[in-house]
């Protein structure tokens, strides 16, 4: 079998790239290791930058997002027993973010792909990438039968644990990594959110985040030890810990209820350079991971897709190589700024085991400065709503 582009991975980056390429008549096949249900069962990101929303519009997959997504023009930082609002819109000339779950984005893109009759092979085992310095092809097994797809390009959209980055020649790849000594315990519950907007809390017991998926579904997180286990956290323990880390008034507004999802995610920063090897491109989490504190992971995946799509469009419409050759450099310039922002937010808001009370006071001084300085608040706001592409 032959196609123009094999996309490895049916997460948001693979699906979005496939949909944009379909819009200009470029044929793709997506190979996904898991089942459709498994991909849709993962609860992850919740905050979309305006640029991400615009790209979903371009892909024709933004109708439900516009009907159901919640535009937010501010966030709050909680410390010192108070909420301090950062007015994102006022500080950025009217920009806002949209709260809409990654699960829903994935769902909308999958529906579009299916409606257009485009091919996704779910439960594709043993995906292997070949000859991406010459005439590339991809092999995989489905129901015990081996298959081969020849193609012009391979897009590695298969996340941090995928096969694409591991297929790049080791000598050519440089990686940068920082592990944080804690994780996030996240809970989803069918209860109204504590606040109209997101609340990021710095507390001496540890970080907490109040987020949401809708006006009746809440997403909450608390910082937990790296090696903690979900089974150690009953719903009651979670709600008690969350409320202890919030200012009294916000804690009083938390509606508790049974959780229907509970998971622990490690926090890390990771970047692989370059993101382009011959006819293989790395996209999204396959090339970089950020801690979720800045809400940047999914948005970075979308900005990679935007740069790669522009390069591939120039290649197929004008036979120009310059866009795809500039892909890695352009994407990485934006990636590193988001890596910096996410690291900074993480450092400012979490309790670090080895910095003690001194570290806590430094954070409080930084937060106090941040909310009282228009320059510092603006720096946060323009990063949070998304830097220019």
Which residues contact ligand RFL (rule: CB under 6 A)? 8-14, 31-34, 39, 44-47, 102, 124, 127, 157-159, 161-163, 184, 186, 265, 284-285, 292, 295-299, 301
Name the residue nearer to ligand PHB (CB basis): 14 or 292.
Answer: 292
174 is catalytic: no
Question: What sign has the CA pseudo-torsion 272, 277, 280, 281?
Answer: positive
Which of 14, 46, 51, 74 binds ligand PHB (CB under 6 A)? It is 46
Find the binding residues for ligand PHB in span 179-208 (CB under 6 A). Answer: 198
Are 180 and 267 spatial neighbours (Cβ–Cβ below 8 Å)? yes
Q: Report if residue 219 touches ligand PHB, rule: CB under 6 A.
A: yes
68 vs 48: CA distance, rounded Å? 13
The binder of 3, among ligand PHB, ligand RFL, none, by C-beta within 5 to 8 A per type, is none
Encoded one letter per residue, x for contact with ligand PHB by CB under 6 A and - for no contact, window 291-320 reads -xx-x-------------------------
330 is catalytic: no
Which of 8, 17, 31, 47 binds ligand PHB (CB under 6 A)? It is 47
The binder of 349, among ligand RFL, ligand PHB, none, by C-beta within 5 to 8 A per type, is none
Are 43 and 309 spatial neighbours (Cβ–Cβ below 8 Å)? no
Name the residue nearer to ligand PHB (CB basis): 46 or 311.
Answer: 46
H or E, element range at 288 = strand 288-289
384 is catalytic: yes
Which two structure tokens, joined as six digits, stand for 263?
């998971």
Residue nearest to ligand PHB (CB): 46
Q: In what order do the strands lie in the sheet with 153-156?
A: 119-121, 28-31, 5-8, 153-156, 280-282, 276-277
Q: Within 10 A of 126 (CB to CB), how many other CB atoms are there? A: 11
38 is catalytic: no
Rounded to whole angstroms, what are the CA distances from 208 to 32, 106, 176, 198, 236?
A: 34, 26, 27, 11, 16
309 vs 58: CA distance, rounded Å? 12
90 vs 380: CA distance, rounded Å? 12
Query: Binding residues for ligand PHB, how many (CB under 6 A)?
Result: 9
Q: Which residues are catalytic?
A: 72, 200, 292, 296, 384
Site residues (vs ligand PHB, CB under 6 A):
45-47, 198, 211, 219, 292-293, 295
């Amino acid at each position: 079998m032959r196609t123009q582009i094999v996309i490895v991975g049916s997460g948001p980056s693979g699906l979005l790239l496939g949909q944009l390429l379909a819009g200009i008549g470029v044929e793709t096949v997506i190979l996904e290791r898991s089942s459709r249900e498994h991909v849709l069962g993962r609860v992850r990101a919740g905050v979309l930058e305006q640029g991400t929303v615009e790209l979903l519009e371009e892909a024709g997959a933004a109708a439900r997002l516009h009907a159901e997504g919640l535009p937010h023009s501010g966030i709050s930082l909680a410390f010192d027993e108070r909420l301090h609002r950062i007015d994102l819109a006022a500080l950025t000339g009217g920009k806002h973010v949209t709260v809409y779950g990654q699960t829903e984005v994935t769902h909308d893109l999958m529906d579009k792909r299916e409606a257009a009759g485009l091919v996704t092979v779910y439960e594709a085992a043993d995906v292997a990438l070949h000859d991406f310095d010459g005439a590339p092809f991809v092999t995989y097994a489905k129901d015990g039968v081996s298959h081969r797809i020849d193609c012009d390009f391979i897009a590695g959209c298969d996340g941090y644990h995928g096969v694409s980055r591991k297929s790049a020649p080791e000598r050519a790849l440089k990686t940068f990594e920082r592990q944080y000594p804690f994780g996030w315990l996240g809970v989803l519950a069918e209860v109204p959110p504590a606040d109209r907007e997101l609340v990021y809390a710095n507390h001496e017991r540890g970080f907490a985040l109040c987020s949401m998926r809708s006006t009746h579904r809440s997403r909450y997180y608390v910082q937990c030890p790296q090696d903690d286990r979900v089974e150690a956290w009953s719903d009651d323990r979670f709600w008690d810990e969350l409320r202890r880390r919030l200012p009294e008034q916000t804690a009083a507004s938390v509606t508790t209820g049974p959780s229907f999802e509970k998971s622990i995610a490690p926090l890390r920063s990771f970047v692989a350079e370059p993101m382009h090897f011959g006819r293989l491109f790395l996209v999204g989490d396959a090339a970089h991971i950020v801690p979720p504190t800045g809400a940047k992971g999914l948005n970075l995946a979308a900005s990679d897709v935007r740069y790669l799509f522009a390069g591939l469009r120039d290649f197929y419409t004008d036979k120009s190589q310059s866009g795809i050759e500039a892909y890695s450099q352009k994407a990485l310039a934006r990636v590193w700024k988001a890596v910096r922002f996410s690291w900074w937010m993480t450092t400012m808001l979490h309790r670090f085991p080895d910095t003690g009370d001194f570290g806590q006071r430094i954070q409080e001084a930084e937060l106090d400065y941040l909310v009282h300085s228009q320059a510092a608040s603006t720096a946060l706001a323009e990063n949070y709503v998304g830097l220019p592409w």
